[in-house]
Each structure stands twice: as C-alpha cells, then as structure tokens.
Chains A and B, each alone.
Chain A
Amino acid sequence: MSLINTVPDMALTARVDDLLNWTRKSSVWYMMFGLACCAIEMMQTGGPRADLERFGMAPRATPRVSDVIIVSGTLTLKMALRTKLLYDQMPDPKYVVSMGSCANCGGLFQLAYSVCDGVDKVIPVDVYVPGCPPRPEALTEGLVKLQQKIQQEKWLVRKTDPVGVRA
C-alpha cells in the first residue's frame, strides 16, 4: 500500500532534487572578496536597504565555509594567483559571481599593464553582473539568477563538467 497523497494534511510530496536545491539556494553564504569599488556596492547591498540577508546570504570571511565567491572589483595580475588559491580552498559545491566590469572583462582598466582582464581567466564563472559599479538591485538580480541556477541542479543524475576556464 502506498502512502503517497493519502494524507494530504500530514505529508507533502516533492522531488528530492527540488527539496535539496530549495534548501541549498536559500542559504548561499558569500565570501567577502571585495577588491575595489564594487566592494563598496556589495557592502551597500548587504546593508539595510537592499538587504541580502533576507535571501539567506550571509557574508563570510574565510573561503572554507562559503558557497559563493563574489569577485567584486579589479583583479590585478598579482592578485590573480591568490584568487586561484582561494577558489581552490572553497569546498564543493561552489559558485563564482563576477561582479562589475573589471571582474567581467577588465572593464575600463583594459588599458592597464598590471590588470588581469577578467576573472574568468583564472576561475570558472557562473554569473556575470555588469555595471561599473552595479547597483544593489543589479547585484541582487545576479544573485537571484544564481539561485535559479542552483534550483535546476540535478543530484540523482551524474553531474556534467563545469564551464571551462578561458585562459
């Protein structure tokens, strides 16, 4: 005898994937990787007006406990080596949000000799948020898109390889 849908006021049925993903996307902790100007806007997004905590996103200082690294600001070549190290220190499953023009493609600092043109040269990126700097609303939309991406992940099926690094 099956219990499914026999006692609707006591038991809910759902797919395992949906349930797991819903719990995971509602508690995405981001590592404070504020490099430059976008870091200020990231702080403002975490502030009282455009609150990120209502999505369950808390700022963490160390990569060991964070789910997503929000690369906010210009990545210099000197810093790019350390960024790879920090990304490797994050435990799986991990995501990368590239915030702002400089992290997306070098931004207005493509003319510079010491800037790495885009963080996707060192680590694979899941969401690109454009702007210089992006408004809190834009960053929030980017993180909501990340939540939608997390919602669609499949756990009971073998996972495909992540997006390759464009060096």
Chain B
Amino acid sequence: MGLAGFEVEVQRRVAGGGVVTEDMTLSMGPQHPSTHGVLRFVVRADGEVMKEAIPDIGYLHRSIEKIAEKVGWHGFIPYTDRVDYVAAMFCNHGWARAAETLGGVEVPKRGEYCRVIADELCRIHSHLLGVGSMAMDIGAFTPFTHAIREREYLNDLFEELCGARLTFHYMRIGGVGWDLPPGWSDKVLHFLDRFEPIVEEYDRLISYNKIFVERLANVAIISPQDAVDYNLVGPNLRGSGVSYDVRRDDPYSVYPELEFDVPVGRGEVGTLGDCFDRYIVRMREMQQSCRILRQCLRQIPDGPVIAKVPRNFKPPAGDCYVRVESARGDMGWYVVSDGTAFPHRCKIRTGSFAAISMIPLVSRNLMIADLVAVIASFDLVAPEIDR
C-alpha cells in the first residue's frame, strides 16, 4: 500500500519573502465520494494547483477476459454486462456480434431492430447517469436526483423487457433473448413524450447555468490531434471536434436505415475540446437517441428475434475485431477462436481506458477541483478501465 511505485520528486522552492514551500503528494481514492468507481490518483500539488496527477487503476480488475476462456461462448454473456454495467446492452451486443462474425450467424431483421431499440434506450440510461453525476461532482446535487428519477422510468421499461434493471443479459448469440412484450412500444413512446421536454428542462436547470459553465469552460482542452493519438473515442472524441461515430461511419446492425445526426462539440461557451463540449455532446446525443427510437418503433418488421444457434456453439478458428458505439465510445472486441466451445482470447478495448490514460497530460496546472470535473467530463467508469 502507500505510495509504492510512485516515486515523485518533492520540490522545495523558495517563494517570495524567503518562505520555503514544498509540494504535497496526495492520494485521492480508491474510496471517494464520486460515482465513477474505484479509481485512485496520486496527485502532486502546490497548494491547490496540481503539478501532475498519476492514475492508479486495477482496484476493480475482475479478470473478465480470463473468465471468457473458462465459461464458453454463451456463458460469457452475463459477464459482458459487468464490463460496463452502466451501459450493459452495448457490451452484450459487442460480444454477440463478435461470436456471430466468427461463426457466420445471421441475425433476423426483427432481432436487429430489438437490439437497436435496447441499445438506444441504454444510451439514454447511461448518459443520464453520466450527466447527473457530472453535475453532482461539480456540486449541484439536484440534477442528480432528476437523473435518478428518469432512470427509474427506464428501469421499469427494461424490467418489463428482460427482467433486470441493471445487468440485462438481454442479447444472445444470434439475436435477442425475448421479443418486445405486447404494449411495450406504447410505453416507450409514452416515456419519450415525457422525456424530450425533460432534456430541455435540464438545459434550463444546469447546462447554461453560470456556475456550471465557469467550472467547465476552458478546462482540460484536448486538441483533435491529441484525442486521436491517445485513442479517445465516443463523446470525448466528438467533444474535441472530430466528427466520427461508428454508427454512421462504420455502420452495423440496422443503423444504415435510420436517420440521425451526430452532435459534435463547437466550443460554444469556451474553447473547442473543453469539458463543457464533452458534456453538451452527451445532452444532444440523448435527444438523437429519442429520434432513433421513434423511427425504430415505427419501422420494426415482424418475424423471429433469434437465429438458430446450437447450444454447443463452436465457431471455426480465426479472429475478428468488432466495434459497437457504446455510450462511452467505440468499444472494440478482439476475439480469437480456436474452434472449440471456449474462446481462446477475448480482448475488450474500451473508451474509458484511453480517457484515463490522458489524465496525466491534461491535468498539468489544473486545480484539484478541476480534476474532479475532468474525470466527470470523460464519463469514466471503473469497470471499463479495469475489466
């Protein structure tokens, strides 16, 4: 324990008036009041201003990748929920698509639509938590309770769909587990009618609130070149001005048949690539998800929701790389099969892993309170980082 492995140089300086000052080394975490999970930062600070913040991760490393080699193709799906429990549908989707690519399985059209509906509802679910906890980290507790309230309505919808509120285990290799229940589409539309004005209420409540803007504008500016170099993805990348979304530019499932915009940061209140841009991209993405959901519910065809996949699924030997646009960005699944019923290797490359590796770069000369804002603006979750 302690600071093993982090030999930081303590600098003594003689400040004005002959006063000797020393940098202090703080350990922020692994238990801390923010909601992003067990992360630890070793911060070397001169008073309130940080000289560097080094992340220390691994406190939630649950060896999910090794477990894939033990439980088999079908049995791994509940574990994928835990890779990113805030946005579990995307992880299910990624694994199912990887297994289908390796095994040459084709998902029926209705199954694909069910997947997209579940995905987009999950995106709203995740962004609500991200935005609410960002507001809570900045200091405003009320938007968090608003977000939790909206999430409860979504939890009811998910519970009716697949029986679980958080770790869904909804998708299967070859489709989805259950069809949409009767009357569920109307409930989703009712929720969307209720939710779209709530996003505007959020804008009035918090988005352009002067204190919120002052805390986030011009903090941790990330240039598009740095963002691409460090492999930042998702709303973090789009907040820096790079207009790239896997759903539009490298499409999968039924996204080519759907119409939606991809919000990109514009530096509207500060500089392009600051924390506010990343926040506002998430707010606008929620609105676009509502649009996608309405189209899906109109266009969904009839038919089966799952293809016939043997219980003893043995895809031929080979490897594949599959991406899904998760709420936290493009999640890459590199899966190797050796022809048996157990995967040979499953590597999950997540957006939060790259984002937290940028913290040493962006946190120079920020204040400790800004570090909290930066962590929140990246929408980090510990299970994605540690797996």
Q: Do A and B have CB atoms closer than 8 angstroms in the complex?
A: yes
On whether A109 and B62 interact (CB within 8 A), knowing A48-B152, A49-B152, A81-B1, the answer reads: yes
Among the listed B38, B62, B79, B86, which residue makes an inter-chain contact with A115, where contact means beta carbons less than 8 Å apart? B62
- Give the complex CA separation of A84 and B60 in angstroms: 16
Residues of chain B contacted by A104 (CB below 8 angstroms): none
A83 CB to closest chain B CB (Å) equals 8
Residues of chain B contacted by A94 (CB below 8 angstroms): none
Q: Is the CB of B30 within 8 A of A82?
A: yes
- Give the complex CA separation of A76 and B79 in angstroms: 16
Count of A-B contacts judged by CB separation below 8 Å: 101
Q: Is the CB of B166 within 8 A of A36?
A: no
- Give the complex CA separation of A34 and B30 in angstroms: 10
We find that the number of chain A residues with CB closer than 8 angstroms to chain B is 37
Among the listed A34, A81, A113, A135, which residue makes an inter-chain contact with B37, where contact means beta carbons less than 8 Å apart? A34
A81 CB to closest chain B CB (Å) equals 6
Q: Is the CB of A39 within 8 A of B167?
A: no
The residue in chain A whose Cβ has the minimal distance to the Cβ of B386 is A76
Q: Is the CB of B145 within 8 A of A112?
A: no
Among the listed A48, A79, A112, A132, which residue makes an inter-chain contact with B38, where contact means beta carbons less than 8 Å apart? A79
On whether A40 and B129 interact (CB within 8 A), knowing A79-B38, A108-B78, the answer reads: yes
- Give the complex CA separation of A57 and B155 in angstroms: 23
Query: Which residues of A61-94 have CB atoms within 8 Å of chain B's CB atoms?
Result: 61, 63, 73-74, 76, 78-79, 81-82, 85-86
On whether A40 and B85 interact (CB within 8 A), knowing A61-B32, A79-B30, the answer reads: yes
Interface string of A25-59 (1 = CB under 8 A from B): 00000011111110111011011110000000000
List 19 interface pairs A-B (beta carbons < 8 Å), by A numbering.
A35-B37, A35-B59, A36-B382, A37-B81, A37-B82, A37-B85, A39-B37, A43-B35, A44-B148, A46-B148, A78-B59, A79-B59, A81-B1, A108-B78, A108-B82, A111-B63, A113-B66, A115-B63, A132-B167
